Amino acid sequence: MKKTLHSEFEKHVVRKDGCWDWCGPSSKNPGYAEFSYGSNKMRGHRASWIIHFGEIPKGLFVCHNCDNKKCTNPDHLFLGTCKENNWDAIKKNIHPTLGKPRQQNHNTKVFEKDFSRIKDLYLKGISQKDIGALLGVGQTAVFKVLRLLKIKRNKKKIDAEQAREIKNLLQEKNTQEELAKKYNVSQSTIHHIAIGRTWRHA
Ligand SMILES: [Zn+2]
């Protein structure tokens, strides 16, 4: 069988309630789930993100909100602007640059060349705050650009019949990214259906 990111990931992942286990190798310090993929090493949580949500936007990191470095449960992952080994420090607000209190990050200059990047990131589901951190400006500046460009995230809702279709298509191995495009909804809408957070009984 052809080795794909998905097939290699599946060899090691142990799906269960809560954090997922990993029965494969892990990286030395810090101990992330890891496996060989082609000539490279791939981290389990990054592979999980790509498999469940699609590509990782340039400049962003896949972080855990469960503080369990081996966990690859997509529900416990989020995109952030920090390297994960900085994450605890940031939460405690002690990181030398990223964790500085907000008022030191109130630069409102957003260059026009960044407008399309802001739009792209926002439509991918990145928060205004994280986009601001990425560009070194405050959240308000990002908000103003989005308002200027009249960009809103698509809040289109789906109905029960579509939810059933989506569930079937997921079983037929359509990716969440493909389905988000097909139904013109955000990828998290599809993800929530996939994990049963919404439309559980549809
Ligand atoms: Zn977890």
Can the peptide bond before residue 74 be classed as cis, meaning omega within 30 degrees of 0? no
pLDDT by residue, tens only, the chain of 202 residues: 678 999 999 999 999 999 999 999 998 877 899 999 888 899 999 999 999 988 888 778 888 888 788 999 998 888 876 554 455 544 444 444 443 333 434 455 667 777 888 888 888 778 888 888 887 778 888 888 888 788 877 666 788 889 999 999 999 988 888 898 888 887 888 888 998 888 888 7
> What type of residue is 139?
Q
Contact 80/63 with Cβ under 8 angstroms? yes
Domain assignment present for 21: yes
Domain assignment present for 118: no
Ligand 1 geometric centre to CA of 111 (Å): 37
Contact 51/6 with Cβ under 8 angstroms? yes
**Which of residues 80, 97, 131 is at a domain's end?**
80
Contact 74/53 with Cβ under 8 angstroms? yes
Domain assignment present for 202: no
**Which of residues 80, 111, 137 is at a domain's end?**
80
Domain assignment present for 75: yes
Ligand 1 geometric centre to CA of 87 (Å): 15
pLDDT at 109: 63
Count up the domains in the chain and report the number. 2
Helix (H) or strand (E) holding 154: none
Ligand 1 geometric centre to CA of 69 (Å): 8
Ligand 1 geometric centre to CA of 65 (Å): 7
Ligand 1 geometric centre to CA of 19 (Å): 4
User: Range of 41's domain?
Assistant: 5-80
pLDDT at 82: 57
